[in-house]
Amino acid sequence: MIASTFYVATMLTAWPMALRSDVFLWRSLLALAPVLPAALMVRAIYRHVRDSDELQRRLHLEALAVSASVVSIASMTLGFLAAAKVIPLGGDVLLWVFPVLALVFGAARCIVQWRYQHA
């Protein structure tokens, strides 16, 4: 929760400042500021999975496999469409990869757990 709160606060403060800054170094540092709390969130997720029992680890692994596959195929599809100039995409679309991966993981985790409970 602390890392998530720090991430939201950073996105609400540092990111708008980065978009308005004219100094390259300052703009670069402000643009990268959200990466630290995101990395702390990844670390917390890793620790949670590491400390889980074998069944929970398996559920996490299956959900991760599904979510990584879905997001990878979606990213590749959008990449091909953008490269062929079918749809216009800027580099800022990459900011959505981690949140979409997390959302798909959450949904996949619920489905995988439901499947194990009803098997």
Q: What's the pLDDT tens digit per position in 33-72?
A: 999 999 999 999 999 999 999 999 999 999 999 999 999 9
Average pLDDT (10-24) is: 91
Range of the domain at 74: 53-119
The answer to whether residues 46 and 87 belong to one domain is: no
Q: What's the pLDDT tens digit per position in 80-117?
A: 999 999 999 988 888 889 899 999 999 999 999 999 99
Position 74 confidence tier, pLDDT thresholds 50, 70, 90: very high
pLDDT at site 84? 94
CB atoms closer than 10 angstroms to residue 63: 20
The answer to whether residues 72 and 41 belong to one domain is: no
Average pLDDT (9-32) is: 92
Three state DSSP letters for 58-97:
HHHHHHHHHHHHHHHHHHHHHHHHHHCCCCCCCHHHHHHH
Token pair of 100, please? 């979409």
Average pLDDT (13-23) is: 91
pLDDT at site 44? 93
The answer to whether residues 16 and 37 belong to one domain is: yes
The answer to whether residues 10 and 62 belong to one domain is: no
Concatenate the DSSP letters of all residues of 31-67 into one string. Answer: HHTTHHHHHHHHHHHHHHHHTS-HHHHHHHHHHHHHH
The answer to whether residues 62 and 17 belong to one domain is: no
Position 29 confidence tier, pLDDT thresholds 50, 70, 90: very high
Number of domains in the chain: 2
The answer to whether residues 58 and 44 belong to one domain is: no
**pTM score of the predicted model:** 0.82
CB 37 within 8 A of CB 4: yes
The answer to whether residues 66 and 39 belong to one domain is: no
What's the half-sphere exposure (Cβ side, CA atoms, 13 Å) at 50? Answer: 6
The answer to whether residues 43 and 63 belong to one domain is: no
Q: What is the DSSP letter of 119?
A: -
The answer to whether residues 47 and 57 belong to one domain is: no
The answer to whether residues 2 and 32 belong to one domain is: yes
